[in-house]
Structure 1
């Protein structure tokens, strides 16, 4: 049997980018890890015709005894009515909360679409863009310029998750994040590499398990010394010893998502977006 026919369909439907619907809906689905889902994100559903096209997709995904689940952040009553005709389990992620807030604030909600993931606060938007530019310039130790203004410097051996964590912190929170790769040239030493040593209090380390690191590196350079279990074990041991000697906080990235690692870094370094 095709695996797609054994999975319950989950749709994330939005009148904007779909990011909020997917994030909130996925958070709810994570509480049911033993239920397999096929996921479908459908953004920019801002007309009745668009809603009808979604209904057709949902009906095609319906299986006997397995109704699709539709998570939506659509505001239009007309569009919501159309979605209800699909026969799916419809989860309106905003309605109840917006009603509560209208009562508390004594005003009605805005009908403008896509406000959360639009430009919104222009100053905050440009701060995030500047943070992304900073992250690109300072990725993998490419530049030592302006490290003094970094909010955090992520230090780790190659392929421990520095770059995705750096980019997430920059794009999501507007933080100025640099990252520096620990290589054989940085050892043996008791101190942090010269490029980042003056900013030790800004440093945060990443580590992982030797087996996981070997697997990740093998995808990049198979059957090389770089990806060997012995080399990965050596590099991780040296890195963790370096962190401890220099009182650099660190975490193991092997079982953590980028979001989890970012949250730990922000909490440990007392950072605010």
Structure 2
């Protein structure tokens, strides 16, 4: 079956985590009016992994009748050459930038595998990010409220307002330790902050969302439930936004924002420093 032009397979490929490829790929694809069917291949450092990747790329081409897009960052010349010979449009996410820096500085770049960032002088940064991800996962969706003193930021909001993806993005991209807590019925009825949050007020940040959008998201999860009803969504959002205003908790509406945009606005408004890896 031929692709109708409304969607296209996209691959993010790297000899490292592929986070950079995903981030830059999302920025580029946001300029074009089609749906991206995305798949990520991190740590492509061997012929075996390359063969597996090329097999999927070629199958995509055979299945859809159009070449998929590949955003990649590969250091090993043999792996890079093999990928470029696949049935895809391939884009090196760093090539043009590196070339321009090379010309401006009159220096030859010395590429190295991204995994080398995990050893030697950069090992502390690597393990800091891993620790941040582990902390964030352990404090997702109100699982635990222990060790809040270690949190960089605490996200509050109703269920399905974007807290989990934002938390993980902040941890993975910037090495921040994030707690996220969904307000439940008891919280909304009390309409006050839990005592655990009182001494960490300076870390609190709220997420809200348009009622219509929240209803749509919840309907996809639990269709026909009270949880997804327009009335329930309106009540929860009105109560929580009132709490944010009363307690002077900064907050943003996530309805029309990507997770990258949400995260950037939080960093800016909360005054958090980006930790670059």
Normalised by the length of structure 2, the TM-score is 0.77
Q: Which residue of 2 aligns with 1:135?
A: 136
Q: Which residue of 2 aligns with 1:119?
A: 118
RMSD: 3.7
Q: Distance in 1 between matches of 2:144 and 2:60?
A: 52
Q: Distance in 2 between matches of 1:137 and 1:8?
A: 35
Q: Distance in 2 between matches of 1:149 and 1:192?
A: 19
Q: Distance in 2 between matches of 1:216 and 1:172?
A: 25
What are the within-5 Å matches in structure 2 for residues 78-157 of structure 1? 89-103=89-103, 107-115=107-115, 118-119=117-118, 121-157=122-158
Stretches of structure 2 lacking an aligned partner (at least 5 in a row): none
Q: Which residue of 2 aligns with 1:20?
A: 20
Q: Distance in 2 between matches of 1:258 and 1:215?
A: 18
Stretches of structure 1 lacking an aligned partner (at least 5 in a row): none
Change (3 A) 1:103 1:182: same
> Displacement, 1:238?
0.5
Give CA deviations for 1:158-198 in whole Å, capped at 9, x if unaligned: 22222222222222212121122222322455642322122
Q: Which residue of 1 aligns with 2:187?
A: 186
What are the within-5 Å matches in structure 2 for residues 48-63 of structure 1? 50=50, 54=54, 57=57, 61=61
> Displacement, 1:270?
0.3
The DSSP-based 3-state class of the residue aligned with 1:251 is: strand
> Given that residues 15 and 46 in structure 1 are in contact (C-alpha distance below 8 angstroms), is that contact kept between their aligned partners in structure 2?
no
Q: Distance in 1 between matches of 2:13 and 2:89?
A: 13
Change (3 A) 1:3 1:270: same
Normalised by the length of structure 1, the TM-score is 0.78
The total of aligned residue pairs comes to 271
User: Bigger radius of gyration, 1 or 2?
Assistant: 1
Q: Which residue of 2 aligns with 1:72?
A: 72
> Displacement, 1:55?
9.5
> Displacement, 1:241?
0.6
Q: Distance in 1 between matches of 2:81 and 2:6?
A: 28
Higher helix share: 2
